[in-house]
Amino acid sequence: MHDKKASRVKIAVIATALIFALTSSVSVMSSTLGTSSDVIVLNASATPPVIAVDTDITELRVDVAGINSSIDLVKIDLSPLGGNAGTIMSLIGNFTEGNISGYRFNYSTNASAEGSFNLKVNATDMNGNYNNSVSFMLEVKRIVIHVPTEIPAMTFISNITYDSESTNVGQNATTGFFTATEVIDNETYYVINTSKPTGGTKMYVDLGNKTVTIRRLVTEPGLANLTFEPEVVMLDFPLWAGKTWTNTTKVTGTIVNETGAIITINATAVISGAVTEEVNLTVPYGTVPSLALELNCSFDGLGQPQTYQEKYWISQVDNVILIPKSERYINGNLTEGLELIDAFAVNETAN
């Protein structure tokens, strides 16, 4: 009986020792595996960094180097986008940055949810060390308007909802969109020409790699005649709600204020652009998913602050840019409002 009791005590002591040893072993393993300093993760980028939900694709790319061992696997957690939490990235090449050399990995994906996302990377080497401290930053919007591959010449027919010339209200305006060119200071510019029963507006614009810029704005009868040097960015593609940009330019010419006084302008102006919201806009043309955009110009005239503002609701349908609605303001006072009725290519006829 005594021997059995002693045997039980020995077994208990041995079991306790084994549990302690295993616990210590696990603790040591936990402290050595997962050392992020042994795995370097660099240059995580999403191209483009903003995409439209369920439509666009972004390429996620990252550079990874192992200090004491080769890289085994690089995974990315795509579950916030509706994907797999352990998605394996593809090896696409090598990289060298300073004294660090390693491998480059990528993965292309779309997104089924809107929002701002941090997509965590987990890079593991052959010894089991890993680094999961780096994330991709990705914005997913309902509407993103990309750089058009081309801007075709179009004709827009719009209803005049407001005009400084009251007899125009309720009638139609015709806008030639990139249908003609004119020369200013030996440079050729596209003309966006809106004609109304009385008066109209001409904008002299140019196409950059990802921008539409404006050189001159002329609004008849005599409301504004402004020249911008250098040209001002009107549209900075791609466009999404929340995007902003700013220009500084020299503006010269004249505007007519709310009292009818002609103000001569020769000043440095700050031009700010902002995409303010996503909207389902209903106009005579139909209901169009659009981005609301504001272009604000602030400068001094006759020692007084002056402002000129344009508001556009912009949409992209089959790579064609549409402006379903626009408004113009001088010193906060509405001078023109247009709503789209029809749009067609210059070699077509109106519906």
Report the percent of the chain where pLDDT is more than 70: 87
Q: Which residues contact 321 (CB under 8 A, 6 or more apart)?
A: 145, 148, 151, 314, 315
pLDDT of residue 258: 66
Are 62 and 41 a contacting pair, CB within 8 Å?
Answer: yes
Query: Quick one: pLDDT band at residue 306, thresholds 50, 70, 90?
Result: confident
Helix %, strand %, coil % for the chain, to 5?
10, 65, 25
pLDDT of residue 347: 67
pLDDT surpassing 90 at residue 22? no
Q: Two tokens at 199? A: 């008066």
CA pair distance 133, 331, nearest whole angstrom: 50
pLDDT of residue 26: 33
Q: Is the dihedral of CA 151, 153, 155, 160 positive or negative?
A: positive
Q: Where does residue 24 rank: exposed (0-12), middle (13-18), buried (19+ CB within 10 A)?
A: exposed
pLDDT of residue 10: 44
Q: How far is CA 298 from CA 18, 125, 143, 272, in A?
A: 78, 56, 29, 9
* Alpha carbon 336 to its chain's center: 28
pLDDT of residue 302: 64
Put simply, whether the predicted model's pTM sits higher than 0.85 gets the answer: no
Give bridge partners of residue 39 from the DSSP assignment. Answer: 66
Q: Which of 270, 241, 263, 252 is nearest to 330 (CA)?
A: 263
Domain layout of the chain by residue ranges: 36-141, 154-345
CATH topology of domain 36-141: Immunoglobulin-like (2.60.40)
Query: Quick one: pLDDT band at residue 304, thresholds 50, 70, 90?
Result: confident
Are 71 and 65 a contacting pair, CB within 8 Å?
Answer: yes
> Mean pLDDT across the stretch 172-181?
94
> What is the overall mean pLDDT for the chain?
86
- Exposure string over 280-318, b if 16+ CB within 10 A, otherwise e: ebebebeebebbbbbbbbebebeeeebebbbbbbbbbee
Q: Which residue has the higher pLDDT, 39 or 8?
A: 39
